[in-house]
Chains A and B, each alone.
Chain A
């Protein structure tokens, strides 16, 4: 059995369309804030893991300079994943399982504004057949949405309702980039960007960062009277070729959800990496979340999408919602690859 690990600190930057700060500069206060919330000295951190992608800002070894925001002198024990910060948190969680350390920092950061994600993301696809086609995230999400619409499991109106609800919820979120009251009929009257996707079905590509501090049980109780416990965490991946998947389902999310123990108790709220409106249906179905579960109270990735930090931000938002009293048991979900190729599911529980 895994040992209990808790989140004792977290922080996020706002999601910006284009930050004039460098990635290290906007990461710097985020890490400082997470450390301050945990009430620790940064030198107490036993292990640090970062998630980022040098392709986004186009800067070689940007992930190394990101450590300047952590403080790496005298030398520290650290690691990096070329993935969302949620997977950095997974690595930190595994490191804590060894039992020889008791405090870890995980963070994710991305500055996507200097480049064009529609050019950059095709490069993560199969280099022989999909990258030369320019298989971009919007087109692949559109194929997935079309398959789901054709199966009758969702309508374009329901997709617009997801967008309207997310934007309305984001009004109260100081980190959101897009928010406001939307009329669903007005949204549906807008033109397609790539059919069947309209502008409101697509996420912003934001600059931003998120950090969390993890602690083993004894340390967590000493640091906080209200830690948020990680009751389960798992991640699974599907084949890289979207043509070989049934895009209407997410078996990797279902498997990760099972591994994380989603069904072991009632779920009050969920923060899901719904970057495209139709994906909310796929993910809630895969996780078996019923109508009573509050999904993306923060507004979700359709309103704040800091690349490489979006998944970890789901964990931070779920932890915040639990501590705020919106629920006791929450599911946080992160995704990687296109469209929903790899998925991480984390079950969080409040102390009371």
Chain B
């Protein structure tokens, strides 16, 4: 732990009212087996999910269990997902310039419901579109990084929904929108 307790301006006549304490905690985590499998597939340009036979829900990345039906999911439940889908929800973030903030202009993070078997990817970047033109129901497709530029570095147990390092973002296909009412139960 690198720690530098600093006592506030020490005029010895003044009582200490504030004490800064800087700390650093380091965590190293092993990526769990099913997410390693997911990461390997991403490098090959495939999005893997797991489907629960009981609830019918699709999890991407796969997580080895379905929290709704409470059943364990294994290799047999892996399913290859589509790399195109529909925006079901989004947030436009207007960046405040706090320490470490690198964004300067408003940007959007969207939930993308994949076509076919399903699966929801959260916090996705929508490319080539002014944020005020983004809308629920918009059809989008993945913009993959070239194979030689793909990396698994950003993928971990905590990044549920992450395709970082393999997919740069999603761009509108120009196809007609899907009615937003279809996604009322998929707004997360």
Q: Which residues of A contact B (CB under 8 A)?
A: 18-22, 24-25, 28-29, 32, 42, 55, 57-59, 67-73, 113-116, 119-120, 122-123, 127-128, 131-132, 134
The residue that A134 contacts in the complex, of B1, B19, B69, with Cβ under 8 A, is B1
Q: Which residue of A lies closest to B4 (CB)?
A: A132
Q: How far is the CB of B55 from chain A (nearest CB, A)?
A: 9
Q: Which of B25, B31, B67, B158 contacts A119 (CB 8 A)?
A: B25
Counting chain A CB atoms within 10 Å of each CB, which of B28, B65, B69 scores highest? B65
Since A21-B64, A22-B157, A24-B65 are in contact, a sample of 13 more A-B pairs with Cβ atoms closer than 8 Å, ordered by chain A residue number, is A20-B32, A25-B63, A29-B72, A67-B67, A68-B67, A69-B67, A70-B70, A71-B67, A114-B27, A115-B25, A119-B25, A119-B26, A134-B1
| Secondary structure class of chain B's binding surface, majority of residues | loop
Smallest CB-CB separation from B68: which chain A residue? A73
Contact call B67/A20, Cβ cutoff below 8 A: no
Which chain A residue lies CB-closest to B1?
A119
* A22:B32 contact, CB within 8 angstroms: yes
The count of chain B contact residues (Cβ–Cβ below 8 Å) is 25
- What is the predominant secondary structure among interface residues of chain A facing chain B? loop
Hey, which chain A residues are within 8 Å of B64, CB to CB? Answer: 21, 25, 28
User: Separation in Å of the B60 CB from the closest CB of chain A?
Assistant: 15
Whether A28 pairs with B25 at a CB distance below 8 angstroms is no
Q: Does B33 reach chain A (CB closer than 8 Å)?
A: yes
Query: B65 — nearest CB in chain A belongs to which residue?
Result: A28
Return chain A residues, CB-CB under 8 Å to B26. 115-116, 119
Q: B21, A132: Cβ atoms under 8 Å?
A: yes
A20 touching B33, Cβ below 8 Å: yes
Closest approach, in angstroms, between the C-beta of A69 and any C-beta of chain B? 7
- A32–B5 touching, CB < 8 Å: no
Nearest residue, chain A, Cβ from B19: A128
A selection of 7 A-B contacts at a CB cut-off of 8 Å is A18-B30, A21-B33, A32-B70, A57-B29, A58-B27, A113-B30, A114-B28
Q: CA separation between A58 and B5, bound complex, in Å?
A: 22
Residue of B whose beta carbon sits closest to that of A120? B25
Interchain nearest-CB distance for B173 vs A (Å): 33
User: In the assembled complex, how far is the CB of residue B182 from the closest CB belonging to chain A, in whole angstroms?
Assistant: 21
A165 CB, min distance to chain B CBs, angstroms: 33
Within 8 A of A (CB), among B28-73: 28-33, 63-65, 67-70, 72
Taking a contact as CB atoms under 8 Å apart, the answer to whether A68 and B158 are in contact is no
